[in-house]
């Protein structure tokens, strides 16, 4: 979480809430492996602005997967994807930046046996995620501003 917040503060001057709000832009479009190395959409209906991104983000069943074609890690659930920067808005974890496939999170939500693991909540941003999930108009207002 701290790396995501530091990036948005340094390059855009965004505070924590502004960072959570702008990340909701992932409602639109999808990732393409030939452009970013990632693949998929963050939401099922990715052509309108809704709070679906935040609803999806709080699901505790995301599974981190290594993409064989690009050797990049992304989170997957029900045909959707999230990046580490997305999941870091709701959970605290470290990322392995060494080895052949950097980006693996230190704390998966579900292990290989299907058991749910507990990554600590991201205390600096989780409240805003929950507020935007529950109040789409609040998110749209903050996104606009």
HSE, side-chain direction, 13 A CA sphere, residue 93: 23
- Residues 15-62: tens digit of each pLDDT: 999 999 999 999 999 999 999 999 999 999 999 999 999 999 999 888
Could you give the CA distance from residue 52 to residue 32 in angstroms, rounded to a whole number? 20
Could you give the CA distance from residue 127 to residue 121 in angstroms, rounded to a whole number? 10
User: How many other C-beta atoms can be found within 10 angstroms of the C-beta atom of residue 90?
Assistant: 23
DSSP β-bridge partners for residue 65? 74
pTM of the model: 0.89
């Amino acid at each position: 979480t701290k790396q995501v917040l530091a990036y948005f503060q340094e390059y855009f001057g965004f505070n924590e809430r502004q960072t959570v709000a702008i990340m909701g832009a992932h409602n639109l479009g999808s990732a393409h492996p030939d452009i970013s190395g990632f693949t998929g959409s963050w939401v099922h209906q990715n052509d309108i602005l809704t709070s679906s991104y935040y609803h999806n983000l709080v699901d505790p069943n995301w599974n981190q997967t290594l993409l064989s074609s690009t050797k990049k890690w992304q989170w997957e659930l029900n045909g959707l994807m999230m990046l580490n920067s997305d999941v870091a808005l709701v959970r605290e974890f470290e990322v392995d930046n060494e080895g052949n496939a950097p980006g693996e999170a230190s704390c998966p939500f579900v292990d290989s046996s299907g058991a749910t693991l507990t990554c600590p909540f991201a205390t600096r941003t989780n409240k805003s995620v929950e507020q935007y999930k529950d109040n789409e108009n609040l998110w749209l207002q903050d996104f606009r501003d």
